[in-house]
Amino acid sequence: MDRETMIERVKAEMPERRWRHTEGVMSTAMQLAERYGEDPARAELAAILHDVAKFWPVDRQAKVIRDNRLQLDVLEYDKELWHASVGAWVAEHDYGVSDAEVLDAIRYHTSGRRGMTKLEKIVWLADYIEPGRDFPGVDAVRALSQEHLEKAMIAAFDGTIGFLIAKGKRIYPLTIEARNGLIEEIG
């Protein structure tokens, strides 16, 4: 599928505001890719599709996870996590994406995981810092993102994990693993 057709189809899956977020993730991911030596085209592709399933009804998301035996354990955690697994499946099956690393960047764009590839890190961080985001601590993460990819991500995970704790929510184990792994990486 060509880029323009893909963009038109993804746009039709979501409200205008969420499409603007996606455009922010696309440009931010390309900038980070250039800075940290990853392919901007692959970063952009993952960004275009990362939230493709975000506005699907949750029962439709759960059905894709169950029917295709994706990360079944995610169903026991916050529904906000589900669209990432579903998005990777949709990217592969409805949009013909075959690049396994692009699919993983979509699959782990919310939770993160231990041992993320550079492409996964870039998409995960771009999602957090794109220009439309406005939450406590985001400017500090934006500044760090220009200096050190992993340190910026640790600061961002601290923010997300703190937010989940403040709301009394459970934390998906891959998120804890992601942060532990990044701290080990920077040694």
Q: Does 75 bind ligand DGI (CB under 6 A)?
A: no
Look up residue 153 and give its two tokens. 């991500």
Q: What own/partner pairs with CB < 8 Å and gap ≥ 24 does 22-29 have?
A: 22/47, 22/48, 22/50, 22/51, 24/130, 24/131, 24/132, 24/133, 25/50, 25/51, 25/123, 25/126, 25/127, 25/130, 27/130, 27/131, 28/126, 28/129, 28/130, 28/131, 29/122, 29/123, 29/126
Between residues 42 and 85, which has the closer beta carbon with respect to ligand DGI?
A: 85
Binding mask 37-56 for Fe ion (x = CB under 5 A): --------------x-----
Pair 112, 157: CB distance under 8 Å: yes
Residue 82 binding partner per list Fe ion, ligand DGI, none, with a CB distance cut-off of 5 to 8 Å that depends on partner kind: none
According to CB under 6 A, which one of 28, 71, 145, 160 is a site residue for ligand DGI? 160
Q: Where are the alpha helices (DSSP H) in 68-137?
A: 82-93, 100-107, 118-129
What residues numbered 14-53 form the site for ligand DGI, per CB under 6 A? 21, 51
According to CB under 6 A, which one of 52, 53, 81, 86 is a site residue for ligand DGI? 81
Region near ligand DGI per CB under 6 A, out of 7-15, 57-65, 95-103, 108-116: 108-116
Q: Does 61 bind ligand DGI (CB under 6 A)?
A: no
According to CB under 5 A, which one of 74, 127, 157, 179 is a site residue for Fe ion? 127
Region near ligand DGI per CB under 6 A, out of 9-17, 97-105, 146-154, 170-178: 170-178
**Alpha-carbon gap, residue 41 to 30, rounded angstroms:** 7
What residues line the site for ligand DGI (CB under 6 A)? Answer: 21, 51, 54, 77-78, 80-81, 84, 109-111, 127, 160, 164, 171-172, 175
